[in-house]
Amino acid sequence: MVVALDRLQAMAPKVESVSLVVAWFGNDLRAGDCTIRPGVEVSEKTTSPQTWSVNGVSRAGAHLVSRDDQDRPVYGGTPADFAVVQAIKEMKARGLRVTFYPFILMDVPPGNSLPSPYSDNAADMGQPAFPWRGRITCSPAAGFAGTVDKTATAASQVAAFFDSAGPERRATGACGAWCCITPISAQRRAGSMPS
């Protein structure tokens, strides 16, 4: 990270702000079945001085990203929480404004047998490989026979999608400082946020 920032500032000395993109991985275009999890390229790896962990998920519990026909990971993994914090601190120490940019990559490999929400009654098997995250939808999707669009079923599928990312969390703390992530339920109990 330090070398990359050195190079960035040497090549663009007037840079004032940077975006730190951190990817998590979705595994299904059907909102009610999609889980969003941190991912790793390998499930076993010794790291030092700290152990890889993201939002309390260990490397062994993380999503193992798909591999290509030559056994190479098709995506890089999610950086560990401590690495994200270190990167933000380093960028801020250099006087840069930092935008933390969470990003969803869809890890739906070729040849999958997942029902396609973009078919009548979601009856076709096989979703497109590595689709755009904007294709996550209710199942069956709007415009197809059996659609649940604009129904209570669609609402429950969307609620399941948002619950799949883990406990509700919201950034708190002073702007310009590394923010603390506090469970929303605790903020509601404290009266600092509406229900």
Q: How many domains does the chain have?
A: 2
Of the candidates 92, 96, 100, 120, the residue with the CA atom closest to the CA atom of residue 169: 100
Are 119 and 153 in the same domain?
Answer: yes
pLDDT in tens for each of the 195 residues of the chain?
899 999 999 999 999 999 999 999 999 999 999 999 999 999 989 888 899 999 999 999 999 999 999 999 999 999 999 999 999 999 999 999 999 999 999 999 999 999 999 999 999 999 999 999 999 999 999 999 999 999 999 999 999 998 866 554 444 444 343 433 334 444 334 444 444
Are 25 and 88 in the same domain?
Answer: yes
Are 82 and 174 in the same domain?
Answer: no
Are 110 and 184 in the same domain?
Answer: no
Q: Which residues of 84-113 are buried (b: 16+ CB within 10 A; e: fewer)?
A: beebbeebeeeebebeeeeebbbbbeeebe
Q: How far apart are CA 29 and CA 118, in angstroms?
A: 9
Are 145 and 96 in the same domain?
Answer: yes
Token look-up 């708190």 returns: 172
Are 15 and 100 in the same domain?
Answer: yes
- Structural domain that includes position 16: 2-164
Are 182 and 109 in the same domain?
Answer: no
Backbone torsions φ then ψ of 61, nearest 5 degrees: -95, -5
Are 24 and 67 in the same domain?
Answer: yes
Query: Which 8-state DSSP code applies to residue 163?
Result: H
